[in-house]
Amino acid sequence: MIEAPRSRPACPAAPAGAGAPAREGRLTGWLSLLSVLPLVAALFVAPPALAQRGAPESFSALAEKTLPAVVNISTSQTIQNRPGGRSPVPMPDFPPGSPFEEFFRDFYERQQQNPGTPRRAQSLGSGFVIDPAGYIVTNNHVIEGADEITVILQDEDQTELKAKLIGTDKETDLALLKIDTKLRLTALKWGNSDVLKVGDWVVAIGNPFGLGGTVTAGIVSARARDIGAGRFDDFIQTDAAINQGNSGGPLVNLAGDVVGINSAIYSRTGGSVGIGFAIPSGMARTVIEELRKNGKVRRGWLGVQIQSVTPEIAESMGLAHHKGALVGTVTDGSPAAEAGLRPGDVILTFNGKEVLNNRTLPRMVAGTPVGTKVSVGISRKGEALTVPITLAEFPEDPTAAETPAQPEESVTDGAQQQVDALGLTVSAITPDLRRQFTLADGVKGVVITRVNPDAPPQSRQLRPGDVVLEVSQQPVAAPGDVQERVDAARQAGQKAVLLLVDRKGEQTFLALALEEAK
């Protein structure tokens, strides 16, 4: 429905005989209104935050400054077709008569006619110069597996140069290249990603879809994004358009300094939907310096397996908040073991910085140089402690170094205990049960033999064969110990009890609600 515009009320007539004084009053009122109009306009035209941070009228000067340092990267590699001519990728569905359908059909037919014949595959990406000597930063996934890497400069001649791979780091998806040329190269400076705020202007530069140097502008949409790409996820999210081929290009601030490296997009179509991700410069700079110096990245290593501190775990441990990282396993011979860290310790600070959760600690440790002596603040059974630890180098095969420290030898009596409050039945570890559940020889504690179907929800995370090592951060030697600790927790008014559970060598803390099984 369209609503007809309402007519404005007529101005009231001036009283008879008002004369000049009335006109002067109206004039004074208009002058007063005009005096505040600039203030009102400022509120609507430029919000204070944008005015203070200098929202640009144009990005042309920034583009002119940064584009010469951004390069296109072309790679090629040899791929062996599968015998039988079948491709691992299914034929895409296209509308009938689509030119793409004809192109892909021809490609698949050639594959079938030449089974087992190697073919050349090419890909395109972006990068940027960080040193006029010819050092170039890009993503690892842009050059991974490449037989040949070609860098195309943003000059009038579109100069093409072969690049040498200095080093890569899969963990952070970064790579460092080197080109040799007598040409004068423009380099970009690293910026400080730590000072970025949500809402700050940023500009993404790269080679989307192979089109060449392209500039898009947007803002920082979010920080510290975990997108499941790896252990050290700490992405900057931006709505500056990032598409396929932008990978490896710089994300710059208004000063033209690199605050991120464009790395990934969230999209159902392959095109930009306004959700792009960049590796923060604070992380990238350290990695690139390591690659330039050593050809690989040497990371600090603590030697613990950690998990998050949930509200239930915090309550069962008597913690005031659910921050920090809970130590589940300490690797034998690791820096943490030598410093005396134990399962059940909650790491609250690392080298003077607060550990917010179990995601932040690995980044903090990995970003600290090997051999650095750090102070680690922990909570151990309610007591605050500071432990000095000297970091070692992260082992190339971390699984080989992660041998769980075993609890003290316990006495078994063969008895069973039904713990109604948890909905579990536990038993001493007998030779028969060890064989039945294929328990490792070194595992001590009590084994769960039954989980009641009507057990509390948290208890249903457990299963027969899981071994309870601790209850309320105290080792259990016999099934009756579990019931005693549960009874003590209920008498103390606790709503949950903390269990340390071993499942096939993986140790995990679980906070189980204290309620009677139904």
Same domain, 164 and 123: yes
Same domain, 422 and 392: no
> For residue 27, what pLDDT is reported?
44
Task: Examine residue 197 and state whether it is found in any structural domain, yes or no.
Answer: yes
Beta strands at 250-252 and 201-206: parallel, antiparallel or unpaired: antiparallel
| Active-site entry in 74, 169, 173, 221 | 173
Indicate the pLDDT class of residue 41, thresholds 50, 70 and 90: very low
Quick one: CA torsion of 313, 315, 318, 323, rounded to 10 degrees?
Answer: 60
Nearest-angstrom CA–CA distance, 512 and 502: 15
Q: What is the pLDDT of residues 313-358, one digit of tens each?
A: 888 888 888 889 999 889 899 999 999 999 899 999 999 999 988 8
The CATH code of the domain that includes 265 is 2.40.10.10
Strands (E), 253-357: 258-265, 276-280, 300-301, 304-308, 325-330, 346-350, 353-354
| Active-site entry in 123, 141, 239, 316 | 141
Phi-psi region of 97 (alpha: psi -120 to 50; beta: other; left: phi over 0): left
The CATH code of the domain that includes 372 is 2.30.42.10
The answer to whether residue 334 is catalytic is no
| Active-site entry in 126, 193, 221, 247 | 247
The answer to whether residue 141 is catalytic is yes
Under a CB-based contact definition with an 8 Å cutoff, are residues 356 and 346 in contact? Answer: no
Q: Which residues constitute the domain of residue 114? A: 70-87+100-178
At 506 the three-state DSSP class reads strand
Last residue of a domain, one of 145, 178, 211: 178
**Percent of the chain that is helix, strand, coil (3-state, to 5):** 25, 30, 45
Under a CB-based contact definition with an 8 Å cutoff, are residues 386 and 345 in contact? Answer: no
> For residue 507, what pLDDT is reported?
86
Under a CB-based contact definition with an 8 Å cutoff, are residues 121 and 77 in contact? Answer: yes
> For residue 104, what pLDDT is reported?
53
Q: What is the pTM of this model?
A: 0.64
Q: Is the pLDDT of residue 145 over 50?
A: yes
Phi-psi region of 422 (alpha: psi -120 to 50; beta: other; left: phi over 0): alpha
Last residue of a domain, one of 363, 378, 401: 401
> For residue 110, what pLDDT is reported?
57
Same domain, 320 and 368: yes
Task: Examine residue 1 and state whether it is found in any structural domain, yes or no.
Answer: no
Kindly state the average pLDDT of the residues 132-145.
94
Nearest-angstrom CA–CA distance, 116 and 258: 44
Task: Examine residue 151 and state whether it is found in any structural domain, yes or no.
Answer: yes
Nearest-angstrom CA–CA distance, 114 and 359: 48
Same domain, 286 and 329: no
Considering its fold, how many domains does the chain have in total?
Answer: 4
